[in-house]
Amino acid sequence: MSVQRILIFLLAALLAACGKPEPIVIGFIAGLSNRTTDTGEAARNALTLAIEERNAAGGIGGRPLQLLVGDDGQDAATAHQAMQALIRARPAVIVGPYTSAMADVILPLADAAGVVVLSPVITAMHFVGKDDMLIRLNRSTRDNAADYARVLAERGLHRLAVAYDVRNRAFSESWLAELRSQFPAYGGEVIAAVEFESAADTMFSEVAARLLETEPDGLLFIANAVDVARLAQQTRKLSPNVPLAAAEWAASEQLVELGGQAVNGLLIAQSHNRTDEAPRFTAFRDAYRARFQRDPGYSAIASYDAGIVLFQALERRKSGQSVKDAVLRHGPYPGLQHLIEIDAFGDSTRPIHFAEIRDGQFVLVR
């Protein structure tokens, strides 16, 4: 082959390479085949939407974003396998997980690989204040339990019986411990705590009966939306008027869809304001509805915020700067409903809003 032909071949190869910039791989991990699929699917949908919008605007520095999805199945072995597969793809960051139990599994793998894990929602206290590869975009169980303690006491619910799911033990036990620590300051007391393991055959009627036999002022459930709905249904059969509350984990659309009349009046906190009519939020809400034919829940909004954080950090990242350092240094970030500020340990916070379920709707009460 002549020198001229070699040069032409190399130039053509170079032009072809220039025409297809290497994508930036974004990993995602959540429960997509288990009892918390509503949370995982909403989160995946929102991140998909954020990436589609960013790619339509030119990506990051002309490079498109490519989403790789992993299913943790809310199972340690499944999560371990999914996380290893994502790490092998060499992602810039992995968005997730969405329960503290799964964070316990995947974070050691992320630390060993040096891959940033950007979790929109996990809250357990043993993830707070640590210099590792985890960046959290949510409050802590301490923050949330303190607000619940105050609001429940204001409602006259001073003697609480609590049911909590040990399948997500890292979260539920942290949440319960913080409530027990802070409730007495408001004249409150946890008079009973009944553990259960989330499963299709869990005897929620027995859990409800054990809670009610203590004659509490109200019941509090620390569980996912599916299990809170079932607990509420079994409770209403035994005590139609006992006040109910649930930890923020259950605040998805599935709670209303599955709970029906049984969850009417239930108190629950949410990490977003559903009544927000600010143009930026309504634009996201309308785009999400158009793309997925349903309203975005808390995990969707938090995951879209994760996209906002990630895109700004990657766009402003300097040559040689790690992704973790870029995320920590290039804020604050304009979230959909609040300014996201991340501290040196990768911890953040967000506002909280209490709602009651009334006639199939989440109605803000404070």
Residue with tokens 């009966």: 209
Do 322 and 237 fall within a single domain? no
Do 131 and 147 fall within a single domain? no
- For the cut 90, the answer to whether the pLDDT of residue 4 exceeds it is no
Task: State residue 5's pLDDT score.
Answer: 43
Residue 5 in any domain: the answer is no
- Answer for the pair 80, 105: CB distance below 8 angstroms, yes or no: yes
Q: Coil, strand or helix: which one is 136?
A: strand
Whole-model pTM: value is 0.91
Task: State residue 37's pLDDT score.
Answer: 84
- Answer for the pair 56, 48: CB distance below 8 angstroms, yes or no: no
Percentage above 70 pLDDT, the chain: 95
Burial class (CB in 10 A: 0-12, 13-18, 19+), 131: exposed
Residue 320 in any domain: the answer is yes
Residue with tokens 């490519």: 66
Q: What is the rounded distance in angstroms from the CA atom of residue 230 to the CA atom of residue 263?
A: 9
Do 245 and 155 fall within a single domain? yes
- Answer for the pair 151, 366: CB distance below 8 angstroms, yes or no: yes
Of 270, 287, 320, the domain-final residue: 270
79: enclosing H helix or E strand: helix 76-88
Do 282 and 305 fall within a single domain? yes
Residue 352 in any domain: the answer is no
Q: Which strand ranges, in their side-by-side order, compose the sheet holding 361-364? A: 189-196, 159-165, 218-222, 244-246, 267-270, 353-358, 361-364
Residues 244-265: pLDDT tens digits? 999 999 999 899 999 999 999 9
- CB hemisphere CA count around 279 (13 angstroms): 0
Of 238, 270, 302, the domain-final residue: 270
pLDDT tier for residue 19 given thresholds of 50, 70 and 90: low
Task: State residue 38's pLDDT score.
Answer: 86
- For the cut 90, the answer to whether the pLDDT of residue 17 exceeds it is no
Nearest to 254, CA basis, from 29, 30, 28, 34:
34
Do 245 and 320 fall within a single domain? no
Task: State residue 6's pLDDT score.
Answer: 36
- For the cut 80, the answer to whether the pLDDT of residue 8 exceeds it is no
Q: What is the mean pLDDT of residues 59-78?
A: 97
- For the cut 90, the answer to whether the pLDDT of residue 83 exceeds it is yes
Tokens for 264, please give them.
Answer: 């009417």
Instruction: List for the chain the helix, strand, coil content (%; round to 5).
Output: 50, 20, 35
Q: Which domain holds residue 232?
A: 141-270
Do 87 and 174 fall within a single domain? no
Do 115 and 157 fall within a single domain? no
Per the structure, the count of domains in the chain is 2
pLDDT tier for residue 147 given thresholds of 50, 70 and 90: very high
- For the cut 50, the answer to whether the pLDDT of residue 167 exceeds it is yes
Nearest to 116, CA basis, from 249, 52, 25:
25
Residue 354 in any domain: the answer is no
Residue 55 in any domain: the answer is yes
CATH number at residue 212: 3.40.50.2300
Do 162 and 262 fall within a single domain? yes
Do 135 and 281 fall within a single domain? yes
Residue 292 in any domain: the answer is yes
Task: State residue 327's pLDDT score.
Answer: 98
Task: State residue 2's pLDDT score.
Answer: 45
Q: What is the rounded distance in angstroms from the CA atom of residue 102 to the CA atom of residue 244?
A: 27
Q: What is the rounded distance in angstroms from the CA atom of residue 106 to the CA atom of residue 104?
A: 6
Of 250, 270, 290, the domain-final residue: 270
Residue type, 291: R
Q: What is the mean pLDDT of residues 220-240?
A: 97
| Range in 37-41, 117-121, 180-184, 307-311 the model is least confident about | 37-41
Do 54 and 150 fall within a single domain? no
Do 120 and 197 fall within a single domain? no
Do 188 and 231 fall within a single domain? yes
Q: What is the rounded distance in angstroms from the CA atom of residue 180 to the CA atom of residue 178?
A: 5
Q: What is the mean pLDDT of residues 330-347?
A: 97
- For the cut 70, the answer to whether the pLDDT of residue 18 exceeds it is no
Residue with tokens 């050691």: 108
Residues 271-298: pLDDT tens digits? 999 889 999 999 999 999 999 999 999 9
Residue with tokens 């785009």: 287
Residue 49 in any domain: the answer is yes
Q: What is the mean pLDDT of residues 86-98?
A: 98
Residue 286 in any domain: the answer is yes
